Chain A
Amino acid sequence: MRANEAHGRKSLLSKRFEDFCAVTTDSPRPPPRRTFSLALGGPQLKGLLWQILVVGIALAIIAFLWSNTVHNLSARRISTGFAFLGREAGMPIADSLLAYSPKDTYFWAFVVGVANTLRVAVIGIVLATILGTLIGISRLSANWLLSRLAAVYVEVLRDIPLLLQLLFWYVLMQALPAARAAWRPIEGVFLSNRGLILPSIPIGEGQLWVLGTALAGAVVFYVIRRALIAQQMLDGRPRPAWPFALGLIVALPALLSWQLGVRWTIAWPELRGFNFVGGLTLAPEYFALLIALVTYTSAFIAEIVRSGIQSVSRGQWDAANALGLRRSFMLRQIILPQALRVIVPPMTSQYLNLTKNSSLAVAIGYQDVVSIANTTLNQTGQAIEAIALIMAVFLTISLSISFFMNWYNARIALVER
């Protein structure tokens, strides 16, 4: 085969050589023989054949698996389809944001699972970003002890499997004292084998209105600030934005709160009998999962932040210093915008990883969507549907995060002339 090829090439070369001679001797050039190459080795036809071959193999494999599956399902008398979602789930879910009872349907159990996944993923992403950034900056600190410790933190956490860390945290959590002898690191905070109990502020309808106003105020403030900066760009005069912030985000909601007579009370947790009443309880499973995800991911984020800051060239720091800029201004306006361009793309994949890793919850019994799908699968035998649902949920979350981060990345990208 290869000999044939080589032979073909040789003859082609000699042909070209003849052509070359032909041109120099000024005789008419023979027409290029395109038809021949199209017939045997032409790029279009070859490409088409390759595609037909590969797609054909893929289709054959899928068809094979499909026919087996259909046959197996009918042999085992498992009905396909998502009808089971309407049936009563009957599984208990210990820890959920949404109201749930075992009498609810499988569909609702799935929704509760998705909410649990999102609860750990969203809070985990926020905390991991904060912790990771702090550690990444610490690694660059002039303080030798601090930078060494940060380096050790990163190295140790990155080189141990997340699942092992998760089991480790969970074991530690179970080894905590019972509720009666709970640790109280700060007044009102209890750490026991029932999890972490924090004081909370009960949120009712009135509180929601006030918070909503504050959020709307923040959006309006953002628009005003952009307009102010645009004006400053025109005439160079700085315009203070903070009065707007004070008015829109603090004063207006405060006024509303006073008008509506909303009361902001703090619910302090209290030990009654064997358990706590009041306050916000983070169950040990949730707390262990959150700690494991946050510490593990923060080690990766720290490295991303460090390399991002290091990617900003020395000259940028020197130039900013030479202009006599304040350090905070320099970091905010010169260094960070350049570092973010390097940081954001790998950060996106860390966020995706954290979300996907939250599925390890199944190992310690936190009921996220994977764990609930697994229980469903065991109860109903609807393996394909349950796994399809897991995949659909994670694909949706992954795609949303990528979309958001791509949008953000495009926003901060370098605009070149």
Chain B
Amino acid sequence: MTAITDVPRTVRRPQSGNRVLRWVRANLFSSIPNVIITLVLFAVLAKGVISFVQWGIANAVWLTPPNDSSACRAARGVGACWAVIPEKYRFILFGTYPFDEQWRPALAVLLFIALFYVSTRRAWWRRELVYVWIAALALISVLMWGGVFGLSFVSQDRWGGLPVTLILATFGLAFGFPLGILVALGRRSKLPAIRSLCVLYVELIRGVPLVSLLFMASVMFPLFMPGGFNIDKLLRAQIAIILFAGAYLAEVIRGGLQAVPRGQYEAADALGLSYWRKQRLIILPQAIRHVIPPLVNTFIAFFKDTSLVLIIGIFDLLTTAKTAIIDPAWQQFSVEVYIFIAAIYFAFCFAMSRYSRSLEAQTTGR
């Protein structure tokens, strides 16, 4: 015992310089290749940042009189024309929704954000959340359509912009999720006919691009329906996205089902629970908890994929942005508009991906 106390403490080499310098030496200039990499990257970065600041801030045109792009055209090639954003933002965000009523889609967007925020709180992961979702989605529908409570009716071919993107993504999730659960259960079922139907559905949908499903929704759907029966374009795209979402979510959920230990199934059987009660009370709660981070990632993917409806001409955020710059006066400033909506998409996706990462850290940290 005494021997241990006699061991001299390891002597630390006195460290020279202040902390910043030490950090710089350890993280940027630790070896000769590192020195070269740092210097080259620094030069490239500095050049990029300087030219972006010159273009995007110093020489940029921030505001112009309404409908006058002469200042922007004068600065073309030298500076950005951010003035196109204040000029067009109402159209980009809300499309052709009646101008005086645009507070309604704005409120709907806020409701969506609040709904997402509430759904991310762990304390709120309860049955009540389902009712909150139903209530919020109903409220959003009322806001968007109107026709009741003194709100004027706005048909959905006038909807556009950010609310449409959020609607496509959220309703896709809200309906695709239960569908995904059913298909995932079906794929793991012992009943051969049900299993092969589910496998066929998942593999068919996952094997083809979303673009072709959207084409199918826009071109073939009218052929599928009885004569005279016509569904709105937005709803058709929504159905395609739900079917698409269902197949991908089913695969994620199946991963979760596989992660539930056999003992849990056996214990549920031993309790004499029926199939559905076993799944609802024992298996699914555990399976879904396992896969929440990949579910959030899948949701990010959908959110981005809704932009594909551009190809069949539905006015989501990307389509309104692209349409906004058809105006000949502002035609040349598409880069600025694309950066603007890229920032919107980025804000949503980045928030979700940070959230998914924090969840992952929580679950693996335990």
Contacts and interface: CB of A to CB of B under 8 A. Distances in A.
Nearest to A397: B207
Contacts of B220: 383-384, 387
Contacts of B338: 164, 167-168, 171
Contacts of B227: 68, 71-72, 75
Interface string B35-60: 00110011001000000000000000
A143 B38 contact: yes
A384 B215 CA distance: 10
A71 B226 CA distance: 8
Contacts of B326: none
Interface residues of B, number: 55
Interface stretch (A46-54, A179-187, A233-241): A46-54
A416 interface: no
Contacts of A68: 223-227
Interface residues of A, number: 56
B342 A164 contact: yes
A363 B27 CA distance: 44
B350 A363 contact: no
Nearest to B44: A149
B211 A359 contact: yes
Nearest to A171: B334
Interface string A157-188: 01111111101100110010000000000000
Contacts of A399: 207
B209 A142 contact: no
Main secondary structure of the interface of B (DSSP, over half): helix
B274 interface: yes
A144 to B, nearest CB: 4
16 contacts: A12-B272, A68-B225, A143-B30, A143-B37, A144-B27, A146-B41, A156-B346, A159-B304, A161-B345, A163-B307, A163-B310, A167-B338, A374-B215, A383-B220, A387-B216, A390-B208
Given A58-B197, A387-B215, 4 more contacts: A72-B227, A159-B353, A162-B304, A387-B220
Interface of B: 27-28, 30, 34, 37-38, 41-42, 45, 186, 190-194, 197, 204, 206-212, 215-216, 219-220, 222-227, 272, 274, 300, 304-305, 307-308, 310-311, 318, 322, 334-335, 338, 341-342, 345-346, 349-350, 353
Interface of A: 5, 9, 12, 47, 50-51, 54-55, 58, 65, 68-69, 71-73, 75, 141-146, 149, 155-156, 158-165, 167-168, 171-172, 175, 356-357, 359-360, 362-363, 370, 374, 377, 383-384, 387, 390-391, 394-395, 398-399
